[in-house]
Each structure stands twice: as structure tokens, then as C-alpha cells.
Amino acid sequence: MTTINSVETAIKALKNDDPGVRYHAVWWLGKNRAGSAVRHLIECLHDEGDQTSTGGYPLRRQAARSLGLIKDTSCTPYLLETLHTKDIHLHEATLRALIELKTADCKDELNKYVEKNIEDKPIEALIETLATYKMWNAKEKVEPYLHSGSERIASAAASYFYACTGEVTYLSKVHSYLRHSNRFIRQSAAFDLARIASIKSTESILKARIPNNIKMHALKSILEGSILQQKECMHAPYGNLNTNQQRIIEDLDNLIRENFAGNIVVDKAILPGRTSDKNQAKNGNICLSDTLNLLKSPSLEDRELGIHLLTNNNQFIHSDLSNLYFSESDQDIKVGLIKAMASTENPRFFTALLDAVGVEIGNHCQGNIRRIATCALGRMISQNHINKEAAQSIIEKLAWAITKPDDWGLRYSASLALEEISTNQSTELLTMASRLESDAVVLMRINLAKHKTVNL
């Protein structure tokens, strides 16, 4: 068994005979933003040892994605070479990597790629890339896709033209896809609006039936576009921000604190035999296993009912949710248990909440368990629910959470927790974090928290 837990072990695993191990190593290097591995990932772009029956190259595709995550522009020429291969899925991975790299060195090759007649060309990714690089010279090529039978492609095209012309008609078309019956089209439209970064879209995004994580991403992108135009905003006190910026911050704060929905949205899809009537469930006789099963239901309403039962039903009000959390392996149930414990602010759940802050996640969308726990720990200290020793353990965990994780949402939630604690020690941590933070939105939120704690 090959263990990959460092850059060194991941690079070594790239020579493994097992294609699955090599793929995991490439993924791990991208997830951990291993800049020292760029040369090795470039070599993987030329790998011919892992080919599917249809002629595709999974390792090459993942190498392109990982290079996009690392954002070292030195890989650009090698990524562009992959656009000359026959692997269409590799083309898409490369285009999305170029969106992340944001280097003008790719424009000439992109213009050539636009002109190529390629079967199953990844049009959606191509239009998004053209919009990222403001390549408005491609308007004639993009225009036919405004009427594409694919709503995702049509939305990408409308986004391109709104960014190019500023005409509200195009923005309204993207907004209409936020109301589509297909949730994947709604989510795709939200990502399009995130790239446009139009303040006019915030209300539509908040009202849309899309996951909170995607709303967070979209609002952050909109806010980032706004504050980068006024760099002084990152260090300004709250009152100096304009009304739109203040409103987006408030919305982001709420999404960070109440992000239980995660990446599932199902409208009142109550499972057979279940009921959303809280009073009926509260007075009825329901066993713990059924309650826990509610936490992994595809229905958000069911999940909320499960949390309500765990925290309000006399059958479970004295249950040791902490032990359940540590013994449970299902991620959805663990999130629900953390949400239930967070809502009680009971000091006996302190250890489980502390553990959840540092839980390993595969991507940002899985990070809601950490954000929920972080905000809960901040409230626990501010309400004097725990002793000094436990409070110090929380402070140490928040010191890690506000500086170390790659997950911007966790650093953001740590700033909210430290703001709520409002002590000299929390102010010192916020001051330290402000010197290290490179993300414009998180930096602004840290400085707002610092301003508030200093002026209390």
C-alpha cells in the first residue's frame, strides 16, 4: 500500500506501476498546491501509460487540473500543447486551468483554437476562458451559442456578452437560468454570475435554489471584484464601505454561519414514511437510528428535522452527541451532529467541535462542517460557557484556522469567531492574520473584525 502524505511521497508515487496511485499522487499535489512539483506535473502532461479504451488520458487531465490549482504560469506553454491532442476532455481541463492561471501568454493559441473545427469541442469551457481573458474579438464565433440547445452553453455565452457589452438583457438571460427546473443548470448559471461579478446579481443568487456553498463562492467573487477596484476597502472600517459591499458582507457572514445545506438542495422532498411536522415528530416515538438517518436524507427539510429532534426531543436531549460524532463514519450524519451540538452551545460538546474544525476535507464544498464548528466555538467563549483551559485550546485552534488552511471559508469563519470573542488575545491573532492573508475578501473581513475588537 502506497501512502501519500507529503510532496516527497507524492512525487515518488508518480513512478508507481499502478495508474490509480499515480492519479492520486497528481491529485494530491494539486490539492496541496505543491509548487515544487510543477516540473513533475508537466511531465505527466505527456504521459502515455494511462489511456482509456476511448483514447483519453486521465492522468494528463488531472495533471492539467492540478497545474491550474498551483497557478504557476511557467506551465502555460506545456498546457497549450495539449490543445493539439485528440483528447477533448484534456482540452477542457486545460482551458479551465488557463482560467485559473490568468496569463496573457495564452491568447494567441486560444485564438487559433477558436478557429479550429474540432468535433465535440468543449464550447462552454472555451467561452468561459475567452471571457476570463476579455477576448472580445471572438464575438462573432460566440454569438451563435446564445441560442444553443444547451442551457449551460447559452448561459456562458450570455455571460460573455454581458461582460463585453454591459447590456442588461444578457444579464437577465443568465438570471433566468438561475430559476431553471434543472439544479445543475441553476448551479452553472451561478458560476457564470460569479465570473461576471456583477453587484446586480446578488439578490438573484441569494434567492436561487442552489447550495449555500455555491452562493458563498458567487458572492465572494462579486465582492472581490468590487474591493479590488478600491484596494483601500480591504483595510477600511465597516462604515467606510459602500452599501452594496456592507450588504454582501452580511450575506456572506450568514451563509458562513448557517451553511448546513452543504452541496445538496432538494425542495421538500420528504422521503416516504417521513413527516416534516416538527410537533408531530416531537410528540411521537422515534428511535435514534431513524433520527440519524434523517441527517443523511436527500431532503434538506428532513435534515433540519433531524437536528430539531436531536436538540428538542426529550428522548434525545440528554444523548451523548459527542460520542456519536466520534463513532460515526458517515459524513452527512457527522455534519448534522455538529450542527446540533453547535446550536446548543453546551460545553460538554467542546471536544467534538474542536475536532471538527481540523477535519480533513477533499474540497471547499465539504468544508461546511469546519465552518459550523468554528463559529460555534467562538460563541462558546464569548458566552463564557467553558473554563479557561478549554478556552485556550479553542484560541490555539482558531490561531491555526485563521492562517493555515487553504479553505478561504474556514479562515473567514475564524475571523468571525475571533470577532465574537473580542479579547486582547483575539485582536492579536487578527492583527497577525492580516499580515499573512493574501485573499482580498478574507483580508477585508479580518480587518473589519480587528477594527471591531479594537474599538470595543
Each residue's pLDDT tens digit, 32-80 = 999 999 999 999 999 887 777 777 899 999 999 999 999 999 999 999 9
Q: Does residue 197 sit within a domain?
A: no
Q: 173 near 154, Cβ under 8 Å?
A: yes
User: What does the alpha-carbon distance between residue 444 and residue 456 come to, in Å, rounded to a whole number?
Assistant: 19
Q: Does residue 373 sit within a domain?
A: yes
436: left (phi over 0), alpha (psi -120 to 50) or beta: alpha
Residue 266 has pLDDT above 50, yes or no: no
Look at the chain and count its residues. 456
- Mean pLDDT within 299-310: 86
Residue 353 belongs to what H/E stretch?
helix 350-357
User: What does the alpha-carbon distance between residue 296 and residue 410 come to, in Å, rounded to a whole number?
Assistant: 23
Residue 274's pLDDT is: 47
**Nearest by Cα to 415 from 386, 439, 387:** 439
Q: What's the domain count of the chain?
A: 2
Residue 24's pLDDT is: 94
Q: What percent of the chain has pLDDT over 90?
A: 69
Q: At what angle do helices 151-165 and 183-196 cross, to 10 degrees?
A: 20
Residue 317 has pLDDT above 50, yes or no: yes
- Pick the last residue of a domain from 67, 96, 113: 113
Say which residue the cell 456562458 belongs to.
Answer: 156
Residue type, 243: T
Q: Does residue 267 sit within a domain?
A: no
Q: Does residue 206 sit within a domain?
A: no
Instruction: Quote the cell numbers at residue 379.
Output: 460563541
Q: 364 near 407, Cβ under 8 Å?
A: yes
Residue 275's pLDDT is: 46
CA-based diameter of the chain, in Å? 68
**Nearest by Cα to 26 from 9, 203, 283:** 9
CATH number at residue 44: 1.25.10.10
pLDDT in tens, 92-148: 999 999 999 999 999 999 999 999 999 999 999 999 999 999 999 999 999 999 999
User: What does the alpha-carbon distance between residue 348 and residue 248 come to, in Å, rounded to a whole number?
Assistant: 35
Residue type, 446: I
Instruction: Quote the cell numbers at residue 322.
Output: 459527542
Q: Does residue 6 sit within a domain?
A: yes
Residue 253's pLDDT is: 94
Q: 306 near 295, Cβ under 8 Å?
A: yes
DSSP 362-415: SSGGGTHHHHHHHHHHHHHHHTT-S-HHHHHHHHHHHHHHTTS-S-HHHHHHHH
Structural domain span for residue 2:
1-113
Instruction: Quote the cell numbers at residue 97.
Output: 486551468
- Pick the last residue of a domain from 113, 128, 163: 113
- Mean pLDDT within 410-431: 95
Instruction: Quote the cell numbers at residue 75.
Output: 506551465
Distances (CA, A) of 411 to 219, 370, 437: 16, 10, 9
In the three-class reduction of DSSP (H, G, I as helix; E, B as strand; rest coil), residue 441 is classed as helix
Average pLDDT of the chain is 89
CB under 8 A, 24+ apart: contacts of 418-421: 418/378, 418/449, 418/453, 419/378, 419/448, 419/449, 419/452, 419/453, 420/375, 420/378, 420/379, 420/381, 420/382, 421/378, 421/381, 421/382, 421/395, 421/453
Instruction: Quote the cell numbers at residue 435.
Output: 499580515
Q: Does residue 318 sit within a domain?
A: yes
Contact residues for 249 (Cβ-Cβ < 8 A; gap 6+): 223, 238, 241, 444, 445, 448
User: What does the alpha-carbon distance between residue 345 and residue 203 come to, in Å, rounded to a whole number?
Assistant: 31
User: What does the alpha-carbon distance between residue 254 and residue 249 come to, in Å, rounded to a whole number?
Assistant: 9
DSSP 303-334: HHHHHHHHHH-TTTTTS-HHHHHHH---HHHH
The pTM (predicted TM-score) of the whole model is: 0.85
Distances (CA, A) of 99 to 39, 110, 126, 439, 448: 20, 12, 10, 17, 30
Residue 282 has pLDDT above 70, yes or no: no
Top mean pLDDT of 37-51, 60-74, 245-259, 374-388 is at 60-74
Q: 411 near 433, Cβ under 8 Å?
A: yes
Q: Does residue 170 sit within a domain?
A: no
Supply φ then ψ for residue 64, to 5 degrees: -65, -45
- Pick the last residue of a domain from 113, 147, 181: 113
Residue 296 has pLDDT above 60, yes or no: yes
Q: Does residue 221 sit within a domain?
A: no
